[in-house]
Chain A
């Protein structure tokens, strides 16, 4: 337990980094489904990032205690993350549906669009 990286900040920061990295990697894949997975991971990453921007505290939930003077963690980032979670849920739902619609219409779930540069005749 004396290893220097065994601290909350390191664990959280590395989790952010890992989730972000995994998210980025998957977003760069060529099918819609892995991209959606990547977006999910990236969302975790950024939510934790935003959460950690209020610094980290253990056993100090921002629920006011009428009876004792206790420490409270920063409630604001929590509220922000809540909003962000909800919004990204809506976004995920939409992107899943559009991806599905695209797949069903084109019978192909490649995320890169087929490219048809029409060769036109002389244009004058």
Chain B
């Protein structure tokens, strides 16, 4: 029972976090901030997904989190490299 409440609490925290990320992505004046916010959003989403796994007692959502952990990084680096170098594979 307490886990349920705690999970809900965490859900709400991360959901609010995602909303804040979204706010930043939309409103930030600086592309670096937007990329940062997107990266944060990926990680918060990852947390949400694992929370779902806990809430539902299911393991099938694990891979998606794993992939996000691996791949969110790749897109963030790609966005950043684009600004730094233009060419992301050189």
Contact = CB atoms under 8 A, between A and B. Distances in A.
**For the complex, would chain B's binding face be called helix, strand, loop or mixed by DSSP majority?**
loop
Contacts of A61: 58, 60
A63 interface: yes
Contacts of A63: 60
A24 B51 CA distance: 36
B6 interface: no
**For the complex, would chain A's binding face be called helix, strand, loop or mixed by DSSP majority?**
loop
Interface string A55-82: 0000101010000000000000000000
Interface string A27-62: 000000000000000000000000000000001010
Interface string B49-88: 0000000101010000000000000000000000000000
Nearest to A61: B60
Nearest to A59: B56
Interface string B19-56: 00000000000000000000000000000000000001
A63 B58 CA distance: 11
A61 B60 CA distance: 8
Nearest to B60: A61
